[in-house]
């Protein structure tokens, strides 16, 4: 599943090129997770604004005659990807949304159709506000201080790995990044969140930020079929220190990396380096 680094890399790969473009038409393929919420023809003639990201959503604001005209909230789902080009290939059976503009076509391809493109009158109005209401803080938001992060952990009794994946405290820490951040912080992924001390919480927050920052530098992770809007793979997975390395020596202490299942997701960790 594309996580925050992959979604941000995707946004960056087309945002500058599509900003200011005029929407010519919209083509819909097979139904996605949620309906578009407006008639495709009603989007024609609008102008695309600056693309933003909130969690794993991308927001494309639209204007008509200089006034706000709502926007499109896009989600890549489990296997979706966005491509932007001036001469796209003929659409295939997995291409479910084309935003045809004066500067090119933004296309959502999603074999599993868990992705979505939803029109909303504003980012802070339904349906966008409802979809975003339960998201935690952005990982690089300065308001997310070590003290605030620790206080939020104290209100959660579940395993810290699952708390990170839940996104209610901080968004974007997907499976691979949660495993790597917990390894970097030296915290066992099975540790109850409310048992983590203030110094360890501060270390974990720093590790989350460092891990996601490095993933952004490397273009995200390509584990199956992620591509950015240029069609480029991510490279973070090649530098993972525990993820996907079950039975291999820990790069830090030499003990064997272990794998357990938490919340139906594989968790990789080193029992020698990561303490409860």
Per-residue pLDDT of the chain (276 residues; tens, 9 = 90+): 678 888 999 999 999 999 999 999 999 999 999 999 999 999 999 999 999 999 999 999 999 999 999 999 999 998 899 999 988 888 899 999 999 999 999 999 999 999 999 999 999 999 999 999 999 999 999 999 999 999 999 999 999 999 999 999 999 898 999 999 999 999 999 999 999 999 999 999 999 999 999 988 887 664 444 444 444 445 677 788 999 999 999 999 999 999 999 999 999 999 999 999
Contact 194, 160 (CB under 8 A): no
Catalytic residue among 3, 6, 8, 180: 3
What is the model's pTM?
0.88
φ/ψ (deg, to 5) at 71 = -175, 175
Instruction: Please report the domains of the chain, with CATH numbers, ordered by start residue.
Output: 4-132 (3.20.190.10), 146-269 (1.10.8.50)
Contacts of 19 by beta carbon, 8 Å cutoff, 6+ apart: 48, 49, 50, 51
- In the DSSP assignment, the letter for residue 148 is H
Please state, in angstroms and rounded to a whole number, the distance separating the CA atoms of residues 11 and 3.
Answer: 12
**3 is annotated as an active-site residue:** yes
Please state, in angstroms and rounded to a whole number, the distance separating the CA atoms of residues 159 and 195.
Answer: 10
- Maximum distance among all alpha carbons in the chain? 63
- Residue 233 has a pLDDT of 46
Contact 19, 50 (CB under 8 A): yes
Other CB atoms within 10 A of residue 89 CB: 10
Catalytic residue among 11, 56, 200, 245: 56
Can you give the C-alpha Rg of the chain in angstroms? 20
**2 is annotated as an active-site residue:** yes
**93 is annotated as an active-site residue:** no
**56 is annotated as an active-site residue:** yes
- Residue 235 has a pLDDT of 61
Token digits of residue 231:
């069609």
Please state, in angstroms and rounded to a whole number, the distance separating the CA atoms of residues 7 and 226.
Answer: 10
């Amino acid at each position: 599943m594309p996580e925050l680094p992959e979604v941000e890399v995707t946004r960056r790969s087309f945002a500058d090129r599509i900003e200011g473009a005029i929407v010519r038409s919209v083509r819909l393929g097979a139904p996605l997770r949620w309906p578009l919420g407006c008639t495709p023809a009603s989007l024609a003639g609008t102008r695309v604004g600056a693309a933003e990201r909130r969690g794993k959503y991308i927001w494309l604001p639209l204007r008509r005659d200089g006034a706000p005209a709502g926007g499109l909230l896009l989600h890549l789902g489990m296997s979706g990807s966005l491509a932007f080009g001036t001469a796209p290939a003929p659409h295939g059976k997995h291409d479910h949304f084309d935003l045809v503009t004066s500067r090119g076509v933004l296309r959502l391809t999603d074999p599993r159709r868990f992705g979505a493109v939803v029109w909303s009158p504003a980012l802070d109005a339904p349906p966008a506000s409802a979809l975003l209401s339960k998201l935690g803080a952005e990982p690089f938001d300065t308001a997310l201080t070590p003290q605030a992060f620790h206080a939020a952990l104290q209100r959660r009794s579940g395993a810290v790995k699952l708390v990170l994946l839940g996104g209610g405290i901080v968004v974007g820490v997907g499976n691979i990044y949660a495993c790597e951040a917990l390894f970097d912080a030296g915290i066992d992924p099975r540790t109850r969140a409310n048992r983590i001390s203030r110094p360890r919480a501060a270390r974990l927050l720093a590790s989350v930020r460092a891990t996601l920052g490095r993933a952004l530098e490397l273009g995200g992770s390509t584990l199956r079929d992620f591509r950015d809007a240029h069609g480029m793979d991510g490279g973070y997975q090649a530098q993972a220190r525990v993820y996907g390395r079950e039975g291999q020596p820990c790069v830090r202490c030499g003990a064997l990396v272990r794998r357990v299942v938490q919340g139906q997701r594989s968790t990789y960790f080193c029992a020698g380096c990561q303490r409860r």
